[in-house]
């Protein structure tokens, strides 16, 4: 059971990482999500 969960987590992570072509792209994506989350908390909307 644990190995299936680890495999699933690794597969999900690899898909997420491959969606971002570079480390810089991944950092931008994380930053964008963080800003959107902060906007939702403060204003109830996500601006782009």
pLDDT tens digit sequence for 18-47: 766 677 777 888 898 899 889 888 988 887
pLDDT at position 48 over 70: no
Please say whether the beta carbons of 46 and 40 come within 8 A.
yes
Task: Indicate the pTM of the whole model.
Answer: 0.50
Domain residues for the domain of 19 are 2-43
Is 9 part of a structural domain of the chain? yes
The separation between the first and the last C-alpha atoms of the chain, rounded to the nearest angstrom, is 40
Domain count, the chain: 1
Is 48 part of a structural domain of the chain? no
């Amino acid at each position: 059971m644990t190995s299936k969960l680890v495999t699933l987590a690794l597969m999900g992570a690899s898909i997420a990482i491959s969606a971002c072509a570079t480390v810089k792209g991944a950092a931008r994506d994380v930053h964008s999500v963080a800003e959107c989350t902060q906007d939702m908390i403060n204003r109830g909307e996500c601006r782009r």
